Amino acid sequence: MDNSEHTPPVIGASAAAVGGAERVEVPVRYDAILLAGFGGPEGQDDVIPFLRNVTRGRGIPEERLEEVATHYRHFGGVSPINDHNRQLKAALEEELDRRGIDLPVLWGNRNWTPYLGEALDEAKERGFTSLIAIATSAYSSYSSCRQYREDLWGALDASGTHGEITIDKVRQFFDHPGFVTPFIEGVDEAVAALEDELGTSDIGERVEVLFTTHSIPTADAERSGPRDRDYGHGGAYAAQHNAVAEVVMLAVEQRRAGRSAERPAGAPSTPIPWQLVYQSRSGAPSTPWLEPDINDAIAALPAAGRNGVIVVPLGFVSDHMEVMWDLDNEARETAADNGLRMIRVATPGTHRAYVSGLVDLVLERRDGVPAAERPAMTALGPWSDVCRPACCENARLGFRPALAGVAP
């Protein structure tokens, strides 16, 4: 269905307030928060139907599906992701309660039950008409932003609640302090541990930090973010990750300098080198995806004189299957094969700063906080509240209607 000619200027609860701008700086009344997750199988019988849901129309080869199915089968057919979202929902409810904010949290997934549509059924039953969505994904790209917006639109369509229920979505939060702080703490702890283990404060020569995120087709990466801005190779997706990684390393170097100032030997001389790498590539081998692959990057480290690696899952909000399998299993094996000590940093999960930051993101929309007062740790942010036409469009599928966007 092509809604481009029929949609109001902004599709969502704040439609009337915006009139074509990318930011919503007026208060909006919300009845509830909608936590929009990815979803995952909860038993062996769920695995194949789940994988079909995820890859429908995506051109993922059958062999790749069979391979990924074995990852889930290894863990009894259960992804940890639904439990993560149950825990995140509970943590959000606790934080809202602590702050005296009366906003119920509904939860629905893109790819497995409870589906987004079930959350909308609940909204309908409880008489909620104005929702603010939090998608469990921090960056801009088709898979990490627009697909959530499209599926929310689709869920409204399917439940016949278009016009009855409106949904806004909090901005992409890659550079929100709530999301970034857990990574700073995690990398700092890993650096301190390696300082102890490797017996030197000058580990800049011996250790490398690999920030890792989900690879995506380069054609999708080029289309990530607003289409009229040039973010260079990898589009807004890569630019956002690089900007956050830089901020994390700056904070970590500061803490490192603070630690070594307490030692008689003085400050360390070499900053710890880092790079952005990619993982979990699928798709046909002939389709280009973002590189380098984390395993290739790890294998190249010994030749650069490294004997330790810190792996930072910067692209992920919880320790789900991509983290458990592709990092804790595969990347760890690659590191061991190459004689490298590896530390894998934690994802935000239900870190206090993260949970509290998500509530702040909801409140900045509810209260219409001016953009200038919104926290952002990189020059790219604070990201927009509503996306412009064709933002993060899928390279193969082209236009599909989505929520929380400005109509053409």
Binding residues for Fe-coproporphyrin III, as ranges, are 79, 148
CA 236 to chain centre: 13
Binding site: residue ranges? 79, 148, 214, 322
Q: Least distance (Å) from ligand HT9 to the CB of residue 225? A: 14
Distance of CA 297 to the CA centre of its chain: 22
Backbone angles phi, psi at 279, to 5 degrees: -140, 170
Q: How far is the CB of 317 from ligand HT9 (least distance, A)?
A: 7
How many Å apart are CA 99 and CA 235, to the nearest integer? 38
Distance of CA 233 to the CA centre of its chain: 19
In terms of CB distance, is 13 or 36 closer to ligand HT9?
A: 36
Q: How far is CA 303 from the centre of its chain?
A: 32
64 versus 124: smaller Cβ distance to ligand HT9: 64
| Contact flag: residue 240 with ligand HT9 (CB under 6 A) | no
Q: Which residues contact 49 (CB under 8 A, 6 or more apart)?
A: 41
Check binding of 224 to ligand HT9 (CB under 6 A).
Answer: no
Secondary structure tally for the chain: helices H, strands E = 13, 8
Determine the Cα–Cα distance for residues 323 and 285; give it in Å rounded to an integer: 22
- Binding flag, residue 146, ligand HT9 (CB under 6 A): no
Please report how many Cα atoms fall inside a 13 Å half-sphere around the Cα of residue 113, on the Cβ side: 6
Residue in 169, 206, 214, 344 binding ligand HT9, rule: CB under 6 A: 214
- Of residues 38, 211, 274, 383, which one binds ligand HT9 by CB under 6 A? 38
Nearer to ligand HT9 by Cβ, of 91 and 216: the residue is 216
396 is an interface residue for ligand HT9 by CB under 6 A: no
| Residue given tokens 């309660």 in the structure block | 97
Binding of ligand HT9 at residue 137 (CB under 6 A)?
A: yes
Q: Which residue is nearest to ligand HT9 (CB)?
A: 282
Q: How far is the CB of 200 from ligand HT9 (least distance, A)?
A: 36
DSSP 344-380: EPPP-TT-HHHHHHHHHHHHHHHTT--GGGS--SSTT
**Size of site (CB under 6 A) for ligand HT9:** 25
Sheet holding 130-135, edge to edge: 105-109, 32-37, 130-135, 166-169
Residue 78 CB coordination number (10 Å): 18
Which residues is 274 bridged to in the sheet?
A: 209
Task: Rank residues 199 and 398 by Cβ distance to ligand HT9 and give the closer one.
Answer: 398
Of residues 144, 181, 218, 224, which one binds ligand HT9 by CB under 6 A? 144
Contact flag: residue 85 with ligand HT9 (CB under 6 A): no
* Residue 40 within binding range of ligand HT9, rule CB under 6 A: yes
In degrees and rounded to multiples of 5, residue 115 shows phi and psi of -75, 165
Side chain identity at residue 194, one-letter code: L
Positions at the binding site for Fe(2+): 214, 322
**CA pair distance 235, 230, nearest whole angstrom:** 7
CB of 68 to ligand HT9, least distance (A): 4
Over the window 43 to 72, marking each residue x when it contacts ligand HT9 by CB under 6 A and - when it does not, the resulting string is: --------x--xx--x-x---x---x----
Q: CB-wise, 32 or 51, nearer to ligand HT9?
A: 51
Binding mask 318-357 for ligand HT9 (x = CB under 6 A): --xxx-----------------------------------
CA–CA separation, 103 and 122 (whole Å) = 14
- Min separation Cβ 30 and ligand HT9, Å: 23
Spatial separation of the C-alpha atoms in residues 266 and 201, rounded to whole Å: 9
Residue 125 Cβ vs ligand HT9, minimum distance, rounded to whole Å = 27
Query: Does 239 contact ligand HT9 by CB under 6 A?
Result: no
**55-61 CB contacts, 8 Å cutoff, 24+ apart:** 57/397, 58/283, 59/283, 59/284, 59/287, 59/396, 60/282, 60/283, 61/283, 61/284
Q: How far is the CB of 142 from ligand HT9 (least distance, A)?
A: 7
**Nearer to ligand HT9 among residue 293 and residue 322 (C-beta):** 322
Q: How far is the CB of 235 from ligand HT9 (least distance, A)?
A: 12
CB of 99 to ligand HT9, least distance (A): 26
| Contacting positions for ligand HT9 (CB under 6 A) | 38, 40, 51, 54-55, 58, 60, 64, 68, 79-81, 137, 141, 143-144, 214, 216, 280, 282-283, 315, 320-322
